[in-house]
């Protein structure tokens, strides 16, 4: 569904929490998890009627509403791979007549965690009112005609953290790896267990392939790069070099908080000839501490050979075949390479080398809106870390082309560092309406 036909909204339920810090954490997690699939404006209000009225004023057809502590589930998928979108699943469930779909608790009552309204039908019915049910996470509608129950598929696409449950509240305050998930309702237990695995895997992880597309690599006047500074992930660095161009003197700097990712990239550069990547990797992907970000490894298993073959075939399609990719790889592996282990969230300046002697590009992916960043830093801390990074890049290489995502996963692309730093400093949209300089949001 196109972004113009729906709007996201957050029902601010922080006043229903006994713990203000937990309330704010749940609110920020709701915003952050939504940003992987939605980069548009998010409306917020404590009153459900005002929330829908504000959404309708934006001219949208549908409004997806989440209460603080509800998450849109994002799954690891190869770039370009389709997956069910929660908004589409819920909109289909409305059928030909219903105006609201949510988890029904009674004929006229739905759980406030996640629900979707067809705003045209809501207005045609006279804007039926929705009110909170005292001391419960429930909403009562003025009319029950046209309310349908959310399908099971919608529940699989989302997760209610249910912070009103004492055991859940305690789990959300704790380090995920320390939580006894058997004390939790299964949806949250599964989420915490998955989160613990992901956080453990982040700093020893390797992206053999990118989860994000190459579609956002756009510049007005591509000129051969003197330098490319980027995270050590997949072959997007190569796609950037292909788009901009390079010379025999181009210098590549790979920076990452994962030492394993840097070692993996170095191994490819020094040992691989650019052909039959699955065949090259298969005897080298031995069980160990390194985590490879693949669907087959999501629960701790080793990589599956058929997945390596499938993703390699898809990669070659992007390059126009094996010969085209191999020719590119031969030309770029002999360039000068630097490898820098750095935490962009806390000390980004280490990723910056000497000022480039010509055109430059910088790609940092979603370092400031990754699971690692979202769980360990507040929204304000992530925004400050991102601003520090952009300022460092702008001072180092003001004319460098930027590519990545901001602290709200808002796309950044096709703009130079100096200009973007100025726009960011003057932007006031905050958590509700991130600054968008590009069209391609980064998934997961």
* Residue 261 DSSP SS3: helix
For residue 280 the two structure tokens come to: 């090259």
Q: What is the DSSP string of 161-203?
A: --TTSHHHHHHHHS-GGG--GGGS-HHHHHHHHHHHHHHHHHT
Q: Write down the pLDDT at residue 440.
A: 59
Residues 6+ positions from 98 with CB-CB distance below 8 Å:
118, 121, 146, 147, 148
Reported as a pLDDT band with limits 50, 70 and 90, residue 298 is confident
User: Token digits for 398?
Assistant: 């003001």
- Residues 6 or more apart from 97 whose CB is under 8 A from it? 121, 146
Is there a contact between 36 and 72 (Cβ–Cβ < 8 Å)?
yes
Q: Are 99 and 9 in contact (CB under 8 A)?
A: no
pLDDT average, residue stretch 51-74: 94
Q: What is the pLDDT of residues 388-401, one digit of tens each?
A: 999 999 999 999 99
From the list 285, 199, 251, the residue with the least C-alpha distance to 359 is 251
The predicted-structure confidence for 276-292, as pLDDT tens digits, reads as follows 999 999 999 977 889 99
* Residue 81 confidence (pLDDT) above 60: no
Q: What is the average pLDDT across 73-77? A: 68
Q: 189 Cβ partners below 8 Å, 6+ apart?
A: 181, 182, 183
Which range among 266-280, 408-422, 428-442 shows the weakest confidence by mean pLDDT? 428-442
């Amino acid at each position: 569904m196109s972004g113009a036909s729906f709007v996201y909204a957050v029902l601010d339920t922080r006043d229903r929490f006994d713990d203000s810090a937990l309330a704010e954490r749940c609110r920020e997690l709701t915003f952050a998890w939504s940003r992987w699939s939605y980069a548009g404006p998010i409306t917020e209000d404590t009153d459900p009627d005002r929330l829908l009225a504000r959404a309708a004023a934006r001219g949208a057809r549908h409004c997806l509403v989440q209460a603080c502590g509800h998450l849109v589930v994002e799954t690891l998928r190869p770039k370009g791979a389709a997956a069910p979108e929660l908004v589409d699943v819920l909109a289909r469930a409305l059928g030909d007549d219903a105006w609201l779909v949510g988890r029904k608790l009674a004929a006229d009552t739905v759980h406030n965690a996640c629900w979707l309204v067809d705003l045209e039908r809501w207005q045609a019915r006279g804007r039926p009112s929705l009110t909170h049910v005292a001391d419960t996470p429930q909403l009562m509608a003025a009319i029950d005609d046209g309310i349908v129950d959310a399908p099971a598929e919608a529940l699989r696409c989302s997760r209610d953290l249910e912070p009103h449950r004492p055991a859940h509240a305690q789990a959300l305050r704790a380090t995920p790896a320390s939580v006894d998930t058997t004390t939790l309702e299964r949806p949250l237990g599964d989420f915490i267990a998955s989160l613990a695995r992901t956080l453990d895997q982040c700093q020893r992880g390797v992206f053999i392939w990118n989860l994000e597309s190459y579609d956002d690599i756009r510049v007005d006047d591509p000129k051969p790069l003197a330098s490319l500074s980027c995270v050590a992930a997949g072959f997007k660095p190569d796609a950037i070099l292909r788009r901009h161009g390079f010379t025999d003197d181009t210098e590549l700097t790979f920076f990452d908080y994962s030492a394993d990712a840097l070692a993996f990239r170095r191994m490819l550069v020094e040992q691989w000839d650019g052909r039959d990547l699955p065949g090259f990797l298969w005897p080298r992907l031995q069980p160990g501490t390194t985590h490879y970000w693949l669907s087959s490894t999501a629960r701790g298993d080793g990589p599956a050979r058929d997945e390596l073959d499938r993703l390699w075939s898809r990669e070659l399609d992007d390059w126009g075949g094996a010969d085209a990719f191999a020719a590119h790889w031969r030309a770029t592996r002999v360039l000068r390479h630097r490898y820098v282990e750095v935490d962009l969230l806390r000390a980004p300046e280490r990723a910056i080398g000497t000022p480039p002697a010509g055109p430059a590009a910088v790609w940092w992916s979603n370092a400031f809106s990754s699971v690692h960043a979202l769980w360990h830093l507040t929204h304000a801390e992530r925004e400050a870390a991102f601003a520090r990074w952009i300022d460092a890049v702008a001072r180092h290489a003001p004319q460098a082309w930027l590519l990545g995502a901001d602290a709200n996963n808002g796309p950044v692309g096709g703009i130079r560092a100096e200009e973007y730093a100025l726009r960011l400093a003057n932007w006031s949209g905050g958590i509700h309406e991130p600054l968008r300089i590009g069209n391609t949001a980064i998934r997961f």
